[in-house]
Structure 1
């Protein structure tokens, strides 16, 4: 809390004191109205002017009794008191009837109405040197005046040589600490040595020329600062001494304080302690920082109220706090929006404190304001970043969760409305980022956000969760709300259409679609997290349906998801327990000669039994468990190749290992393959990696580069399940492949379905034209093998030759067939 306090060494008497002084000799009391017309005139004042008791001058003659050369000064002081409320204390001459003149001390102060406006001036006249009075009369009057005023004023008379001829107790105390045996000493001897010569010269000049004297000096005894006022008379010089040490020190402190305040970086405003109605306390001081920050000059604001700094966005609640505190004469501190002269808003940390005089009367209010605009701007930015996405300017995840929580709570408590939550994911967004760069990806997201906002009604929420995921919250609060299912269908189809329009990016026209999952909430509302999971699950169903689609959540979908989650948990436990195994299925060439095997992952669950790879491999992909599992299979395959390399009858065998998309895209995959090969000490050509066509869906440049690195190492590369995925001739010719693998789906009906037969033939012809080997999987009958052989395919894998075997069974099988021998006919092997 900051207080700025300054005391005046002299204040005009209050009205109560004026009434007391009115009963004292040689002090006259008067008052005038705001037009300077005389309102009252005491008997003592009449006596000073040689008038009888009860005399009152005409109203318009308030200034007539002052000598002509002093009337203008008195009038000026009166007008300033009326206009600005400034008190005054001056010495002038009056002229009584008969031409007698006398020096008087004229004191005045403002008289205010209840609303604080000045209604007039009241004051007193104190006669200080009536011309022609004998010395003893003058002294008596002076002592009488001193007693009447109760001011403790010191009085001294000196003769024409400057020697003291009279002094009162107050004078003795000031000059020499109370010694009254000072008569006859020269007055200047009591002052500091450096000032004595100048003081002597001034006093002698006043005595010789019969002139008044006024100066300040410090005495030599107690180092007081004394004000001397001298009035010549026939016996010498009458001197009034006043101790102004405190006043001078206060003035010095005030000057230092004002200088310091003027240089503060904080804004300082001092107002009078006026009433709190309209227009309010008026400004009496502002510092330089105020002028710099607000654009107002001192001249423009002095006499006005601080309301000129307020604007339409100034907080009413904070203004009410200030008013309440001021009415209770209490300090107050607020953060407030003010405005410059140009209308620019700025924030201040405003600290307002009362200022009291020595009698505990409230005199002023001091407001110190620190400019906190930068801090508030930073706080607002932090607040914005906490709840909004900086790229799209949409609400972020936290904002969505808060809003959704409120919406669901209202629905649960009041049943006011039902709503829908829509989860939106851009299709193939990663392709754009990988091919055109993240800058264009960001531009696309910004355009998507604008289109989404245009698809919803006012009051509905569009949020960005992150990446290319958006959420729309439809609260359905209209006066005649639609059925939430109907509303969600309408909005989702608008979104599909809007997001399906081409996007104009620099130098590129991009086409994109989205997949939308929708869940409803209202009656029997779920938790926020459950709703998000439901919408997310429905969105993945839309993806699985071919993208650019909408799917609504239903309980069966949740049951499937729960079962999938349970399967993923069991798979993780199986991996920890070492319950996964690898089986190997032979691959054969012409005349049934075995050329290698394919390593196949197997999982036997204690309760579920054998779990098909088509069930648990997707779960492993989604949980990223496929990466450590794939590494383990790769290491096992390399170790097995190394074991076979030590046997002449088996060193020709290769092992094919399936590589998942996630595993292949891992940054360390190529290094991992190289490490496995070196650790096992095998020929790289004996390892064959089977890649799926889904690798070609996006990131083709990275895929080609990695495959090129593997090819350079000597590793064989096979494209698995060819024909059912994303392959195109333009991609295929760029890949450094060794082999194409015909999917079992085409082989199964190759003898009965002309389309499957045509596709198989086309794949074989394509492989031959590209110089690639071709192998068919799922071969179960001699007829299928013979058909494929007629088309030019001479490598096979399937139950026609052998089912997948554990390594021990495989070794026994190899021993039985002597490794290099042809595999027996199906009747001998089994199906």
Structure 2
């Protein structure tokens, strides 16, 4: 746009300057021709009165030579220019006759012939002046016409180019660079038209993702992940009866007819096509999840529908991989919002309570530590277990405040000493969420709280879930290395629930490995499960890592742990989580 405008301005300025110069030139011609006409008449009158007019004659000679020379030197000549030149030459010829008659009059000849020549010269000069005026007017109109044409032509080119540029920019704005199809903006724009043209509830807005896509990127590389996304887009485009677009990362937005059976068929087909893709070597276990929103309200924008579908995909209960945004889910969101909004006041009123669950040495039955757990005694919402509020805090980004609050409460609870003659601080394991560990200043804030209470480092065990190490691994490991160097024990929680990597385990700065309680659920008696547990414990011992098994509820569980060499047990077999005072009376009295 700017460059085009500059071109127009340059052309316009050039034409204007040229027109002004030409007009000045024409004005000079007309003026000089008038001077020749008037000067000739004055010279004749003076000569007839007996006064020599040689100076005027020389002036007329010079002007005629100049006028005729300029006309002959003109580069671009028209018929009007030829007419002006002929008239000027006729004026010059008649002037020469007058010069000859002047000499005769000076010699005593009658002046009649001089007067006749003077009259004829006046007529010829007047004709030359008028011809110059006609040419000036004609060429000025032509110049104005050409200027207007160029401006209009250039403006038309600019408009067309701008329109073409806007079309290209619009295509870029609405196109996903990886798949070449629509992006989320393009999807919302087109879907809005489709939904508006149909009765309410005709369509479903669907938001999808690839299960464990980050693991694919981390394990096979980003190029492999991009290939998977492109292939998935092609599958959706071929299988979906409506619109499809890549929203971001591994997420897609679909517009399909509101037919649950058809959506289930689509999901099954997509999963089957992914698994059958022979050129994608990791697709055998791939699947997708879906969040669906019924487009039943014309006043709700498509972007809002996509957002709600994404929300239910993340937090809703799924059946066959599909979660629908229902009134029940809407009510759940409302309840979750109430929980989130009540957090600040709850922290100030110290409504979050410390609960402890003991950790017992499998061989000796002695207390070796405890895990700190949180319960919320809300003034408005009543008593709540962690499952009722922790996920909401994690989704809202507020979980970090609760994590540090619990650390502060544990520090304030000390001194907590191991019972008997062992002495020393009771190691208390505190859970820290992934967002907390990844935030800037985590280590500094952690150390500031512990040091402000003058606690020994062995009193706190930092517990991180296995999944925390799967995202920004280097950041997490660096933070844990720093805390371990400060003397704090590092524990990996829920080992076995995700993509456990033995290579990752080898590199992590952990001293405690907590086996997830799922290992002791139904089916733990099988040789396969017990062999897995035994191998994990043996590997940990080989690496110098202490093992803690959660979910111990029966004597059989405990016997299994003794047999495979697990170090510590934690679960209902010994105690449910209890409040701080009950824990002190029971285990530290």
> Cα distance 1:586–1:484, how it changes in 2: closer, same or farther (>3 A)?
closer
TM-superposition CA deviations, 1:27-59 (whole Å, max 9, x none): xxxxxxxxxxxxxxxxxxxxxxxxxxxxxxxxx
TM-superposition CA deviations, 1:252-306 (whole Å, max 9, x none): 8998999x99xxxxxx8479xxxxxxxxxxxxxx8xxx7xxxxxxxxxxxxxxxx
Matching residue of 1:535 = 309
Structure 1 position 349 matched with structure 2 position 158: no
Matching residue of 1:396 = 183
Q: Specify which of 356, 360, 384 is matched with residue 588 of structure 1.
A: 360
Contact 1:586 1:594 in 2 (8 A): yes
SS in 2 for 1:411: coil
Matching residue of 1:175 = 41
Matching residue of 1:453 = 237
Structure 1 position 240 matched with structure 2 position 117: no
Aligned-pair CA distance for 1:386: 4.0
> Cα distance 1:424–1:723, how it changes in 2: closer, same or farther (>3 A)?
closer
Matching residue of 1:774 = 547
CA distance in 1, matches of 2:52, 2:313: 106
> Cα distance 1:523–1:625, how it changes in 2: closer, same or farther (>3 A)?
closer
Aligned-pair CA distance for 1:723: 3.9
Aligned-pair CA distance for 1:431: 3.4
Q: Specify which of 676, 681, 685 is matched with residue 458 of structure 2.
A: 685
Contact 2:191 2:243 in 1 (8 A): no
CA distance in 2, matches of 1:503, 1:388: 28
CA distance in 2, matches of 1:626, 1:199: 99
1:160-199 correspondence to structure 2 within 5 Å: 175-176=41-42, 183=48, 189=54, 191=56, 193-196=58-61
> Cα distance 1:628–1:395, how it changes in 2: closer, same or farther (>3 A)?
same
TM-superposition CA deviations, 1:613-650 (whole Å, max 9, x none): 123222222112111211222343345457869x9975
In the alignment, structure 2 segments of 5+ residues that lack a partner are 1-8, 24-32, 66-84, 102-111
CA distance in 1, matches of 2:262, 2:588: 69
1:751-830 correspondence to structure 2 within 5 Å: 763-779=536-552, 785=558, 788-793=561-566, 795-799=568-572, 801-813=574-586, 816=589
Aligned-pair CA distance for 1:595: 2.6
CA distance in 1, matches of 2:564, 2:222: 47
> Cα distance 1:611–1:502, how it changes in 2: closer, same or farther (>3 A)?
same
Select the structure that is richer in helix: 2
* TM-score normalised to structure 1 length: 0.51
Higher RCO (C-alpha under 8 Å, 6+ residues apart): 2
In the alignment, structure 1 segments of 5+ residues that lack a partner are 9-153, 155-169, 201-212, 218-224, 262-267, 272-285, 291-332, 337-347, 351-369, 477-482, 817-831
Matching residue of 2:215 = 431
Matching residue of 2:196 = 409
> Cα distance 1:517–1:585, how it changes in 2: closer, same or farther (>3 A)?
closer
Aligned-pair CA distance for 1:714: 3.0
> Cα distance 1:400–1:676, how it changes in 2: closer, same or farther (>3 A)?
same
TM-superposition CA deviations, 1:79-113 (whole Å, max 9, x none): xxxxxxxxxxxxxxxxxxxxxxxxxxxxxxxxxxx
CA distance in 2, matches of 1:503, 1:621: 38
CA distance in 2, matches of 1:667, 1:633: 19
TM-superposition CA deviations, 1:423-459 (whole Å, max 9, x none): 12233333344456656655654554444434445xx
Structure 1 position 737 matched with structure 2 position 510: yes
Aligned-pair CA distance for 1:466: 2.6
Structure 1 position 422 matched with structure 2 position 206: yes
Contact 1:538 1:553 in 2 (8 A): yes
> Cα distance 1:528–1:719, how it changes in 2: closer, same or farther (>3 A)?
same
Contact 1:584 1:810 in 2 (8 A): yes
CA distance in 1, matches of 2:556, 2:215: 43
Select the structure that is richer in strand: 1
Q: Specify which of 230, 254, 274 is matched with residue 472 of structure 1.
A: 254
Contact 1:746 1:759 in 2 (8 A): no
Contact 2:217 2:224 in 1 (8 A): yes
CA distance in 1, matches of 2:130, 2:486: 99
1:571-586 correspondence to structure 2 within 5 Å: 571=343, 574-575=346-347, 577-586=349-358
> Cα distance 1:794–1:520, how it changes in 2: closer, same or farther (>3 A)?
closer
TM-superposition CA deviations, 1:635-683 (whole Å, max 9, x none): 43345457869x9975332111112233333354344444444444444
CA distance in 2, matches of 1:484, 1:785: 51
Aligned-pair CA distance for 1:805: 4.0
CA distance in 1, matches of 2:318, 2:423: 43
CA distance in 1, matches of 2:64, 2:555: 140
> Cα distance 1:198–1:768, how it changes in 2: closer, same or farther (>3 A)?
closer
Aligned-pair CA distance for 1:803: 4.5
Q: Specify which of 511, 521, 526 is matched with residue 295 of structure 2.
A: 521
> Cα distance 1:502–1:734, how it changes in 2: closer, same or farther (>3 A)?
farther
For this pair of structures, how many residues does the alignment match?
Answer: 522
Aligned-pair CA distance for 1:600: 1.1
Q: What RMSD, in angstroms, separates the aligned Cα atoms of the two structures? A: 5.2
Deviates more, 1:184-193 or 1:660-669: 184-193
CA distance in 2, matches of 1:402, 1:670: 45
Contact 1:579 1:603 in 2 (8 A): yes
Matching residue of 1:72 = none
- Highest Rg: 1 or 2? 1
Matching residue of 1:463 = 245
Matching residue of 1:204 = none
Contact 1:517 1:535 in 2 (8 A): yes
Matching residue of 1:283 = none
CA distance in 1, matches of 2:412, 2:187: 52
CA distance in 1, matches of 2:327, 2:573: 43
Contact 2:360 2:367 in 1 (8 A): yes
* TM-score normalised to structure 2 length: 0.69
Contact 2:357 2:576 in 1 (8 A): yes
Aligned-pair CA distance for 1:800: 5.1
Aligned-pair CA distance for 1:226: 7.1
CA distance in 2, matches of 1:736, 1:567: 35
Q: Specify which of 603, 615, 621 is matched with residue 376 of structure 2.
A: 603
TM-superposition CA deviations, 1:300-337 (whole Å, max 9, x none): xxxxxxxxxxxxxxxxxxxxxxxxxxxxxxxxx97x7x
